[in-house]
Amino acid sequence: MFLTRFRVNTARTQARRLLSSPQSTHAAVMSAFPDLLPTDTDTPRVLWRLDRAAPAQVPLFIASPTRPDLTHLVEQAGWPAVATDQARGWTTYDYAPFLAGLDKGSTWNFRLTANPVHSVRNRDGVPTKRTAHLTVRHQVAWLLQRQEAGGFHVIEKPADKQHTEFSDTHQVVVSDQRTLDFPKRGAKGRVIVKTVTYDGRLEITDPDALRRLLTTGLGKAKAYGCGLMTLAPAGER
């Protein structure tokens, strides 16, 4: 497995087009893997995430089973004039040693962009419909419901810092709520995806389960930039 970071040059027209279209971003990411076919089911899927920390600072993170070639992204949405063999415009790390070193009981800062949804039935006799969670209370609950299976525990706040009336009991913040709304490719209608970003602190309870989550993603809408969780040592942003 590999983890790649690419900084998007938001001043370029093609970069702005990519940032406005998750379908285009997905296509650009997948074009970095000429040997990875859409029909491959025996390898971990490619995950990606855009972090919009500031208008001029938008890194693209990619977790992938093979090393990507982002030359086309540098040409379209990077700084091709300054890219060299030594500084190609992106950085790829061997993810395997990091994943192998995850230990039970260790604590980490995490970031996750996800599509927190649930299935509802408006009336008896009709199929259920996938619906987005719209409130922070329910979005946090969605994450907490998946922590045991995911091999982690979101660390609770000290008792005197908890605001139980607002379900604010854990060290996690929900931010950057977005509604992606774009036409379906090759079909009528539109795709609407609600995304949120979680930043918090977790403790590893099952390293194997967490390794699976980090390489296969969490939740729905993975093709649209959701599901990729990344970790940083506790104390770092």
More confident residue, 179 or 121: 179
User: What CA–CA distance (Å, rounded) separates 212 from 75?
Assistant: 33
**Neighbour-count burial for 185-211, b at 16+ CB within 10 Å, e otherwise:** eeeeeebebbbbbbebbbbbebbebbb
Of 58, 80, 99, the last residue of a domain is 99
pLDDT for 38 beyond 60: no
Of 74, 99, 124, the last residue of a domain is 99
pTM exceeding the 0.85 threshold for the entire prediction: yes
- In this structure, the answer to whether residues 82 and 33 fall within a common structural domain is yes
- In this structure, the answer to whether residues 124 and 223 fall within a common structural domain is yes
- pLDDT for the residue 47: 96
Give me the domain span that covers residue 63: 2-99
- In this structure, the answer to whether residues 113 and 225 fall within a common structural domain is yes
List pLDDT tens digits, range 54-109: 767 899 999 999 999 999 999 999 988 776 544 668 999 999 999 999 999 999 99
Of 99, 124, 154, the last residue of a domain is 99
Q: How far is CA 194 from CA 56, 187, 223, in A?
A: 23, 20, 13
Question: In this structure, what CATH number is given to the domain that contains residue 60?
Answer: 3.30.70.1200
What's the pLDDT band for 236 if we cut at 50, 70, 90? low
- In this structure, the answer to whether residues 137 and 47 fall within a common structural domain is no
- pLDDT for the residue 186: 65
- In this structure, the answer to whether residues 121 and 37 fall within a common structural domain is no
- In this structure, the answer to whether residues 91 and 124 fall within a common structural domain is no
- pLDDT for the residue 162: 74
The whole-chain average pLDDT of the chain stands at 86
- pLDDT for the residue 109: 96
- In this structure, the answer to whether residues 117 and 92 fall within a common structural domain is no
- In this structure, the answer to whether residues 21 and 108 fall within a common structural domain is no
Other beta carbons within 10 angstroms of residue 63's beta carbon come to: 23
Total domains in the fold of the chain: 2
- pLDDT for the residue 89: 83
